[in-house]
Amino acid sequence: MTKGIFISYRITDSAGYAGRLFDALRCRLPDLAIYMDVDDDHVELGAPVRAHLEAEVARSEVVLALIGRSWLDARTAWGDLRLRNPDDYVRSEIRMALNRGILVIPVMFDGARIPTAGELPDDIRGLADRLGVDIRHASFHRDLDQLIARLRRLPNLATDRRPNLGTIQAAIRDELNKRDPDGQDR
C-alpha cells in the first residue's frame, strides 16, 4: 500500500493554499500518495462521496487539516455553521482520522489559529491539542520547506527513495561525461 497524505480543507477558506500545497507535496514527496478532492479523476461518476473520502483517509498516514481565518466560522448557504453539522465533509474527515489514530496536523494560513477545544464539536476536540504549523503568504516557500522537512522525519512517512540533490547532480554529471563534444553518446 502506498503511504499517503490526505489534505482536508474548506474551499471557501483555503482552496488556493490547498492547491499550492498539493502541487508542492506531489513534486517534493514523489514516493507518497497525496490526496486532495480535486484530484478525483480516478473516481467513477456517481460513486458515494463519503465512502470514497473515508477510504482515502483510511489509507493515509497523515491528515493535514488546513485552517484559514474563516475555517471555524464557515457557513452554509442557509447561514448555519458548517462545523456544527455532523455531516460536514471537513468535520467528517478530521473525525475519521482521529478515530482511526491517524496523525492529524493542523496547518494554519496567514495568522489563523487552532481552535480551542471549546470551539470545536466533541467528536473533533482532539484537533485542539495538536501541534501545528503556520504557513504565510510572504514566507510560503520557506514555511513549506520546513513543513516538508518535518514530514520527512515522521517514521510513518519515511521513504527509502527520497530524491537527493547531490545524487541527482552526480547522475547528470555522469551522463554528460558519457557524451562527446558533439553531443553523441560514446
Is residue 168, in this structure, part of any structural domain at all? no
Is residue 155, in this structure, part of any structural domain at all? yes
Is residue 167, in this structure, part of any structural domain at all? no
| Residue 48, C-alpha cell as written in the block | 458515494
Is residue 183, in this structure, part of any structural domain at all? no
Closest CA to 14 of 66, 52, 83: 66
Is residue 186, in this structure, part of any structural domain at all? no
∠ at Cα 161 (158, 163), nearest 5°? 105
Is residue 18, in this structure, part of any structural domain at all? yes
Domain residues for 13?
Answer: 4-159
The number of folded domains in the chain is: 1
Cβ neighbors of 109 (< 8 A, separation 6 or more) are: 14, 17, 66, 67, 68, 69, 134, 135, 136, 137
Which CATH number goes with the domain that contains 123? Answer: 3.40.50.10140
Each residue's pLDDT expressed in tens, for the chain with a length of 186 residues? 467 999 999 999 999 999 999 999 999 999 899 998 866 666 778 878 888 888 899 999 999 999 999 999 999 999 999 999 999 999 999 999 999 999 999 999 989 999 999 999 999 999 999 999 999 999 999 999 999 999 999 887 765 444 445 555 555 655 666 555 555 544
- 3-class DSSP state for residue 121? coil
Place of cell 510513518: 156
Place of cell 491517524: 102
Is residue 137, in this structure, part of any structural domain at all? yes
